[in-house]
Amino acid sequence: MGRSPVSDRSVNDIVVLGESDATTQKMTMGPPKAIGGELDITDALHFTSADKSFTVGIWESSPGKFHAVYEEDEFYYMIQGRVVIADRQGNGRTFHPGDCIVVPAGFIGTWEVLEPTKKFYAHHRPSAEGAPSAGMAVDSGGELAPL
């Protein structure tokens, strides 16, 4: 009746962030996405669903500010650091360790990492209907533009 068959998974298939194998990517984010400087970022991807619509990992960043365009829903739990997330109208909110939030797909704004930050995250990329185009990016002026 439309339900997926249950597979024969075991406790060994459970992913433990920080313990399980991860694909780690280190990068430096500079202009045009970064605003006023470069950020050193580490993204440790611990899980990707079979259909690639759901990912989970640990993200770390040095201080800095960058444009953010969310094509996916993001759940995150702040482990350390402090960030300000602001929308395109300039309304911002500061998040601290222990905060647990969801940023919905379609959000456009900025992230300002005020001190070295680490978070657990889970991304879910919604179906194409109603979601921002995967062919969009933020231009040097902070505006959404086609790639």
What per-residue confidence (pLDDT) applies to 6?
Answer: 64
Domain locations in the chain as residue ranges:
24-127
What pTM value is reported for the model? Answer: 0.78
* Confidence check: pLDDT of 132 > 50: no
Does the domain at 24-127 match CATH 2.60.120.10? Answer given as yes
What per-residue confidence (pLDDT) applies to 4?
Answer: 56
What per-residue confidence (pLDDT) applies to 127?
Answer: 66
Q: How crowded is residue 93: how many other Cβ atoms within 10 Å of its Cβ?
A: 11
Cα 85 to Cα 141: distance, rounded to the nearest angstrom: 18
